[in-house]
Structures are given as structure tokens and as C-alpha cells.
Amino acid sequence: MNNIAIYLRISVLEKGNLGHTEDTINSQRNIIKNFIFNDQELKKASIEEFIDEGYSGSSTSRPGLDKLLLKVRQQKIDCIIVKDMSRFMRNYIEMGDYLENIFPFMGVRFIAVNDGYDSSKEVQNGTELDIQFKNLLNDYYSRDVSEKMTTALLTAKKQGKYTSGTPPYGYLKDPEDNYKLIVDEKVAGNIRYIFQLILEGYSLNETAKILNSEGVMTARARRQEIQGYDSYANRWDSTVEQTIWSASMVRRILKNETYTGTFVFNKTTKSKLDGGKVIYHPEEEWIKIYDNHEAIVDKEIFDEVNGILKSRRKNDALRGSKSKYKNSPLATFVRCNKCGYKIRFNKSSNGKELVGINLYCYHCRMLEQEEKLPHYKELEKDIFEILKDKFHTDKTEKKKLLDEQKELYDRNDQLLKKKRIEFENYKFGKISREDFVEIKDQILELIESNKERIQEIDEELKHAGSIEGLTDDVVKKYIKRIYISSKGIERIEYA
């Protein structure tokens, strides 16, 4: 234990009535110092004070606290001591986050003297609040002061002030006013893109896959970037889903009304018992404030997308299986001639059935260099014609090849027969040895050349096929890549 931070705070109210409160900065300091000097280990450490005068415990931005937390992040603090938890933070959910996640992760010991709380004496699993702390929370909530705090929090929320811990992906806390949400321009486009993909007919799963394949930044990655550290790193339920996009993450975004500028609260409460178990309220009990902050997604688009999700669910339930639209057999083979990126075959639907497929290059679209690409039906027709010309062998042609092959086999049989006869002629002295060797070599040479032609025909027959339509199998058999532009097919690489 090397560096101890003492945190001292009094609110405006307390400051204005100094004579009436016993909890002055001085008295807090005395209680903490007394505690330190009675501890063999702590009294050896160096002490630094962080003071906030005239700030409430629910204010999220306090110069003293900010300075202290900065030093924590810089790993210059080993231990934080406060007189009681409410001095440090009034919002117990946030307090819980610090005690459960942030401080253990940063290796910081936390002591609240009058609450009898010392993190080094807690069960070291860093995930569960221990009984002592639960009791403490209950205690807070049974007190009048906590009732007032809850009311104040609710009033703030009713006025549209964002008081929850971390804003959703796509928003930031306004540095000018921590209760306000502002658009996070860096990732707001990703939110709109997710809504767009659903409108274009992609499923939640397909959408997540597209986001991953394009390396779209996840909420967790963005939070880490903003905070400067990964607050999930030591969470026991940290899963791979937090580093890549999943269908449920996509759904959570699509269903979050915050993106329409509406502030929704009272969706859940954290149980005052049970270490803060989340209780979900029915939708009728939700409270909404419209036009609370800048919208990222139009209300119309939000409603349309949620309608699509609802109808898909209904369809799935009716059919008892996931609806699977059939895409073009060319869908995975087409590239943009300009940039080389894979061309998107967007299945557009009216929410019930496939109504068409749109081709575009996402890469060029993002660079605002998009070209109008051929209609997928035209492209399919052209590719079909090309493949047919190049590879289709009709029945008579195929029969001709097979007949030729059969004839070559027969000829070789006859040549072998002739070789046997000539050998007997030589054996019975009808021809000389030299003559026999010459005839034998000629025969073997002929057989060899016939065999070569047989193999050639085999190859031809393998590639030749009857191409009656553009099926998945046909495309896979002959095509490696097709490059297209606004002019149509530019180049084909064959398999």
C-alpha cells in the first residue's frame, strides 16, 4: 500500500448551513485520518486529499472526484478512503459498478469508514456484492434521504435529464451538461446502417454477419475507446458477443427508442434487495418523453423496422421455421470492377415476401462513387448465355465424343490382337525378329496415341455439361469471379 486517496465532499446545502451540520470537510478528514493512523499498513502510505465543496453526491461531474478517478486510471492510487459511501456517490448503481468492476479491475482498495466497508475484506470474486454491502444498500434505501434521492432522480428523468450511467451506443454525455445526450457522430452512421439493412430484407443474423465482415465498431469497443479502458474486461459474464456483433445486439439497437429522440424510463428498477436484481416493468408503465434529444433514426423508419421484425416473428411462428429467401445463384461471385469489393445482392422485401434484389457496391457507396449496376435478372441471363456458349455440350455432340472414345478402345483391342498374331508369326519363324520388333513398336506407339486421345475426350466430357439453367451447381462449377460495372460484365474468372 503506497498511495492513499482521501475523498472529502460537502454539498451546497451543507455548505450553506455549516453551523448546523457536523459533517464538515474537517470532521470527515478527522474521522478518516484517525482510521488510517490506527491501521499498521495504512499509516505507512502517502496520503493525497481530493475535495469537492458545494457538490452533491449525485452530480456525475465533480472536479475533485474527476481528478481522483483520473489518478486511479493512471494507476497512481492504491486505496481510496471516504467517510461513508454517500460522500463518494449517491447513485448506488454507479457506486456498485465502481465497487464490483472498476476498482477490482484497477486493483484499488476502497474503504468507507463509517459504513464498515473495506473491499480488501470482501470475498475476492469481484462479481457479487457481499451481504454486508447489500445490507448497507438496504439501509440507504430505508432512510429518508434515499427516498428523497430516488424522487429527485425520477424528477430529473421526467425533465428528460439523462441520469443513467452510460448512454447507449450512438450517443455521448454532453460535456457541457452531463445530463444531456448528444449524438456520437463517429458511430451514429452505424445505427442508421443497421436499420437500413433490416429494411433491405436482411435478418438479424445476416445483419450481424455483415457488420462483422465490414469491421463495424461494436458498442463495447466504442465505450472502451471513450473511457480509455475496458470496463467489461474482468466481468464474469464477459462473452465473445461483446467483441463482435450478434443478432441480439442488433435487435437491442433496433428496439431502442432512444434513437428516435425519445427518452424512455421506468422500464426497469433495480431491486433494493438481492444486490440489485433487475425488475422489468410492463410496457404500460414505461414513461416516455418525446423530442428529448437529437434523433439518429426517423420515427417512421423506426416504426417500419419494428413492424418488419414483428411480422417476421409472426411469419416464423406461422410456418414454424425461419423464412429463408432464395437469393440469386450469382450472389457470392460478383465483384465491383472499380474497387474489387464484393457486390451486395440486397434482397428487398415488403416484410412478407421477396420483391426483388438490388445490386450495389457498399464500398463505392460509402465513397460516394456508386454506379448504377445492371439488374440482377439481366446479369443472370448474360452469365447463362456465356456459360452455355462456352461449356454447354448438347446430346448429339456428347454422343459423338463418346462414340469416338468407344472406337478408340476397340481399335486398341484390335492392335493388341495384331501384336499377339505377329508374335506367333515370329515364334513359328514366319517373320524375322527384326521385323517383329519393328511391327511391335509401331503397334505400341499407335496404342499410346489412342490412349492420349481417350484421355482428352475424358477431360472434355468432364467440363462439358448440359447447362439448362443457371443453378447454384452450374455457377459453382464454372465460375470463380465475375467483375461488373455500370456497363455490365467486364471480366469473368472461370473456376
**249, amino acid identity:** M
| CB-nearer residue toward Zn ion: 347 or 363 | 363
| CB-nearer residue toward Zn ion: 338 or 347 | 338
Which range, of 6-14, 91-99, 293-301, 355-363, touches Zn ion by CB under 5 A?
Answer: 355-363
| CB-nearer residue toward Zn ion: 243 or 485 | 485
| CB-nearer residue toward Zn ion: 341 or 483 | 341
From the list 103, 363, 475, 484, which residue makes contact with Zn ion (rule: CB under 5 A)?
363
CB of 296 to Zn ion, least distance (A): 26
Size of the site for Zn ion (CB under 5 A): 7
| CB-nearer residue toward Zn ion: 364 or 492 | 364
CB of 186 to Zn ion, least distance (A): 24
| CB-nearer residue toward Zn ion: 134 or 342 | 342
CB of 362 to Zn ion, least distance (A): 8
Interface positions, 319-348, toward Zn ion (CB under 5 A): 336, 338-339, 341
From the list 79, 85, 361, 479, which residue makes contact with Zn ion (rule: CB under 5 A)?
361
CB of 370 to Zn ion, least distance (A): 8
Interface positions, 151-180, toward Zn ion (CB under 5 A): none
Which range, of 79-87, 213-221, 359-367, 413-421, touches Zn ion by CB under 5 A?
Answer: 359-367
From the list 364, 401, 454, 492, which residue makes contact with Zn ion (rule: CB under 5 A)?
364
Does 359 participate in binding Zn ion (rule CB under 5 A)? no
| CB-nearer residue toward Zn ion: 364 or 446 | 364
Which range, of 361-369, 378-386, 431-439, 472-480, touches Zn ion by CB under 5 A?
Answer: 361-369
**Residue 188 vs residues 54, 169, 281: alpha-carbon distances, Å:** 36, 8, 28
| CB-nearer residue toward Zn ion: 62 or 338 | 338
CB of 216 to Zn ion, least distance (A): 18
Name the site residues for Zn ion (rule: CB under 5 A): 336, 338-339, 341, 361, 363-364
